[in-house]
């Protein structure tokens, strides 16, 4: 199944990553939503490492002459996609965070004004 050591190494690493991600999801250290891309990437690399004939056919198409190197190309592309996705998540979090902060500021000012007006005009007991 593994004709060379590099493919074996990639297989072990991808399998380890798969287990790590699943374990982190189980412990709620990683949300399912964000684990999906990692699982897909680890799974794809795992498949390619096992299915050596497929890899041997795909690699030359990409211009990669040493087939196992194609695994790294796949990993690199996968990482880029994940990083870009995370940047969009950060962008959205920043926006939501800003809106929350703005609302807190405005609400606090309104609350203080309200408290002040209540102090000045105490209601009848």
Partner 1 sequence: MNLPEETEILVIIPAYNEEESLERVVSGVRASVPRADVVVINDGSHDSTPLIAERAGATVVSLPYNLGIGAAMQTGFMVALAGDYQVAVQVDGDGQHDPNEIGMLLERLLLGEADVVVGSRYLENRGYITPWPRMFGIRILARYVSMLAGQHFSDTTSGFRASNRRALESCAQNYPADYPEPESLLAFRKMGLRVSEVAVSMNKRYGGKSSITPFWSAYYMIKVILAVTILLLRRAPRRGESTYVH
Candidate ranges 10-18, 24-32, 37-45, 104-112; the one touching partner 1 (CB under 8 A): 104-112
101, 111, 114, 118: which one binds partner 1 (CB under 8 A): 101
**Alpha-helix runs per DSSP H in the chain:** 5-26, 32-50, 52-61, 69-120
4, 16, 90, 105: which one binds partner 1 (CB under 8 A): 105
DSSP state of 31: -
**Six-digit token string for 50:** 């096992």
Q: Which of residues 70-99 bind partner 1 (CB under 8 A)?
A: 95, 98-99
CB of 93 to partner 1, least distance (A): 12
**Six-digit token string for 108:** 């606090």
* Residues 10 and 35: beta-carbon distance below 8 Å: no
Nearer to partner 1, 57 or 95 (CB): 95
CB of 83 to partner 1, least distance (A): 19
Burial 42-64 (b: 16+ CB within 10 A, else e): bebbbebbeebeebeebbeeeeb
Which spans of this chain sit near partner 1 (rule: CB under 8 A)?
95, 98-99, 101-102, 104-106, 108-109, 113
């Amino acid at each position: 199944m593994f004709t060379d050591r590099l493919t074996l190494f990639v297989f072990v690493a991808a399998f380890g990553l798969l287990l790590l991600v699943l374990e982190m999801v189980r412990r709620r250290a990683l949300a399912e939503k964000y684990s999906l891309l990692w699982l897909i990437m680890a799974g794809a690399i795992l498949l390619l490492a096992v299915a050596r004939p497929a890899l041997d056919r795909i690699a030359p198409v990409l211009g990669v002459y040493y087939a196992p190197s194609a695994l790294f190309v796949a990993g690199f592309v996968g990482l880029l996609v994940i990083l870009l996705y995370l940047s969009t998540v950060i962008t959205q979090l920043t926006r939501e965070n800003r809106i929350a902060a703005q609302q807190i500021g405005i609400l606090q000012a309104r609350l203080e004004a309200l408290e002040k007006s209540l102090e000045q005009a105490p209601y009848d007991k």
